[in-house]
Amino acid sequence: MKIASYNVNGIRAAINKGFIDWLQATNPDVICLQEIKAMEEQLDLDLFAEAGYENNYWFSAQKKGYSGVAILCKKEPNHIEFGTGIESMDYEGRNLRVDYDKVSVMSMYLPSGTNDARLSHKFEYMDLIHNYLNELQNEKPNLVVCGDYNICHEPIDIHNPKMKGVSGFLPEEREWLGNFIDSGFIDSFRHLHPEKQEFSWWSYRANARANNKGWRLDYAMVSEPLQENIKRSVILTEAVHSDHCPILLELDL
């Protein structure tokens, strides 16, 4: 099973940059999208159906042109869970899950901490989602949580590890991500590539992408019961439809 995850920074903009052609060429079974910045009714859903993803599910933010997640599937899931039931998270459209017989896949978009108010919201979300996923693992032990976590975990995950005072690499954020992993998840990329430095996000400023001054913010977290099923986990840096690039996980189920 091939599972991709991509913060598209606006699905309509990504489509205009060739996203559909890339999707067909990459051909994942499931792709989790974040920061779609659109309502379902603003999209031409035939584009996805014609690409092989007539099972497409959208969970938008209440605020137009902001946040939102989606999952596109080749095979119809057994169940689709829109949101978490926690209002502060669901208002911004940050979680969507599909369940299959052998695995459940969540698209998650963790807030960024661009100012003090948003950083406070980010920490609240981090606490809430960790508790939610701890409980969900009891019900769905074979769980993959893909998405933009907006946190670099270790110094190898950021081009400049001296940026300790910037949200995304704060000690408290990094500690939370470590605790998240310790609660029963595997960072699939780091599991297979312990020494590899690759990034999944670059600022649009100062030619950061050309100079590879990036951050690894996007993760395919796999619950521990699936550890032996992890076959491949890569960062697809050649895709350029966004300030992020997609990641790809392959599970042998």
pLDDT value, residue 113: 92
- Please state, in angstroms and rounded to a whole number, the distance separating the CA atoms of residues 222 and 180: 11
pLDDT value, residue 108: 98
C-beta of residue 62 within 8 angstroms of C-beta of residue 91: yes
Confidence of residue 55 (pLDDT cuts 50, 70, 90): very high
pLDDT value, residue 188: 98
Burial 61-73 (b: 16+ CB within 10 A, else e): beeeeebbbbbbb
For residue 240, the surrounding DSSP H or E stretch is none
pLDDT value, residue 152: 98
For 95-147, the pLDDT digits (tens) are 999 999 999 999 999 999 989 999 999 999 999 999 999 999 999 999 999 99
C-beta of residue 234 within 8 angstroms of C-beta of residue 191: no
Question: pLDDT above 70 covers what percent of the chain?
Answer: 100
Residue 223 belongs to domain spanning: 2-251
Q: Report the CATH number that the domain containing residue 242 is assigned in CATH.
A: 3.60.10.10
pLDDT value, residue 52: 98
164 compared with 12, residue with greater pLDDT: 12
pLDDT value, residue 180: 98
Kindly state the DSSP code that residue 158 receives in the 8-state scheme.
B
Q: Which residues contact 195 (CB under 8 A, 6 or more apart)?
A: 156
Confidence of residue 172 (pLDDT cuts 50, 70, 90): very high
> Taking phi first (over 0 means left), then psi (-120 to 50 degrees means alpha), and beta for anything else, what does residue 85 get?
left
- How many distinct structural domains can be found in the chain? 1
pTM of the model: 0.98
pLDDT value, residue 242: 98
pLDDT value, residue 36: 98
- Please state, in angstroms and rounded to a whole number, the distance separating the CA atoms of residues 204 and 170: 21
- Nearest Cα residue to 3 out of 222, 214, 225: 222
Q: Which residues contact 232 (CB under 8 A, 6 or more apart)?
A: 192, 248, 249, 250
For residue 7, the surrounding DSSP H or E stretch is strand 2-7
pLDDT value, residue 3: 99
Give the three-state DSSP class for 77: coil
First and final C-alpha spacing in the chain: 7
Q: State the chain's mean pLDDT as an integer.
A: 97
pLDDT value, residue 228: 98
For 58-84, the pLDDT digits (tens) are 999 999 999 999 999 999 999 999 999
Q: What is the mean pLDDT of residues 226-244?
A: 98
C-beta of residue 239 within 8 angstroms of C-beta of residue 199: no
C-beta of residue 88 within 8 angstroms of C-beta of residue 114: no
Give the active site residue among 29, 99, 148, 157: 148
Active site residue 148: yes
- Please state, in angstroms and rounded to a whole number, the distance separating the CA atoms of residues 14 and 47: 13
C-beta of residue 73 within 8 angstroms of C-beta of residue 30: yes
pLDDT value, residue 23: 98
Confidence of residue 238 (pLDDT cuts 50, 70, 90): very high
